[in-house]
Every structure is written in structure tokens, then in C-alpha cells.
Amino acid sequence: MRYSRQIILDKIGKKGQQILCKSCVAVVGIGALGSTCVQLLARAGLGKIILVDKDKLELHNLQRQLVYNEDDVGKIKALQAETNLKKINSEIEIIAENITINKNNIDQLKESDLILGCTDNLESRFLINEFSLKKKIPWIHGGAVKTTGNLLNILPGEVCFRCVFSPVKNFNETADTVGIINSIPVIIGALQATQAIKILLKKEYEKDLIYFDVWNNEFNKINVKKNKNCPACNGKWEILK
């Protein structure tokens, strides 16, 4: 049986697997982080996965974006990831959206049980945060650059992304500008997938901000709290206007 090793795991079991098989997760950004997340979730038997990405695969992406291979260079990431994931698990539903997420089309994610933010675009992260708060959909932020990564679970009524992070003008620290070691997005992506399973199964999830530096072997959990003056928590949308 495909999921037998998850079913005998006491953390999941038969009932947990049934929940996973009926769940819908949207993954925004099918690059290094998203590439790891979607593979793990597809293999775990998530019933429906929505893939959101506008980019085409470039040769340098293969250094860290594990769902693709050399034959995929030049192809649209979302569509090719859909093709490759169906070869991994033909039993699940996969929807590919070849779009750049913005305030006019993000409503396509409203049926999701959970959203994984795997983009390196800061504005997209704030957009997902506002949308998730508005629709009361949990989401998981993941970020990775150079040798470091971070993760934050954001659930309705709890601390949100805007509580912790402020908009930064001229933010340009991405893999394109400062580089990235290929192990850190795999680590953070795996953590995102694990937290996603926990949240979908209504298990205890991580409430701290996780920070990991793979080069220096530093792992930290940072206690974060709701900001009573947070505009997003108070419904003062800065992007979803």
C-alpha cells in the first residue's frame, strides 16, 4: 500500500491519512523551497495541490530545485512541476497556475485548507499574509537565502507575518543577488511540509519563528508575539486594498 509507512506511524494513522487525502494545499512559488514542499506533499498523499508560479526553468535553477531535471530547462515551472509530480503520484489532483500572484488573482486560493509561501518576493509574502487573514486560512512562511533559512506558521488569531516583519524598501537579497547553498531550501522546505501535515491533522504545531544556519550549524527558535498595532491583524490592508 502506497501510504502504509505513514499509516503505521502513530502520529498519522489511518484517520490522519484519510484527512490528508481530502486536503487541499496551495504552494506559491515552485522554486527551491516549493520544489521540496510539493514533492513531499505529493508523496504523502495530499488530495489536491495547487501550484502557483510564473517563471520558466533556467539551468542554474537545477542546483537547488529538486522537482525538475535538465529536460525541463526553458519550460514553465508550474506546468512542468505538475507533469513531474503526476509521475510521482498519479492518484492526487494537481492544478498548475501559470501566474504571478497578485491582489487581483489571489482569490483563486480561497478553497485551500492551507497555503505554503515559498516565494522570495517580499511583497508576495505580505499579500499572502493579508489574504490568509481575511479568509481565515492558515499559511506557512518559508524563506531561504545564502546559508540561512527561516519558517513561521501563521494561523488565524495568532501572530502574523506583518507582526514580525516590516516592509523593506529596495529589498534585493535573494539567491539571484547573494547566492544560496542548495541544502538550506531543502531543510526549510522539509520543515514546511512537516508543519503542513501537523496543521492539517490539527496536531501541535511550531509557534516560534525557526531560524537555521546550515553553514554554522546554528538552530534557533525565536519567541514571537502578536503586535497589537499590526495593520494586517487590525484589517488595515496595505496590499489588498
pLDDT for 116-156, tens place per residue? 999 988 999 999 999 999 999 999 999 999 999 999 999 99
Domain 4-222 of CATH type 3.40.50.2000:
no
Q: Taking phi first (over 0 means left), then psi (-120 to 50 degrees means alpha), and beta for anything else, what does residue 74 get?
A: left
Q: Please state, in angstroms and rounded to a whole number, the distance separating the CA atoms of residues 48 and 25.
A: 6
Residue 46 · residue 92 · CB < 8 Å:
yes
pLDDT in tens, 198-214: 999 999 999 999 999 99
Give me the mean pLDDT over the 182-205 stretch: 98
52-68 as b/e, with b when 16 or more CB fall inside 10 Å? bbeebbeeebeebbbbb
Q: Please state, in angstroms and rounded to a whole number, the distance separating the CA atoms of residues 57 and 21.
A: 29
Secondary structure of residue 101 in the 3-state scheme: coil
Q: Please state, in angstroms and rounded to a whole number, the distance separating the CA atoms of residues 79 and 71.
A: 14
Confidence class for position 196, pLDDT limits 50, 70, 90: very high
Q: With a cut of 90, say whether residue 169 has pLDDT above it.
A: no
Domain spans of the chain, in order of start? 4-222
Query: Which amino acid does the sequence have at 76?
Result: I
pLDDT in tens, 30-45: 999 999 999 999 999 9
Specify which residues 56 forms β-bridges with: 76
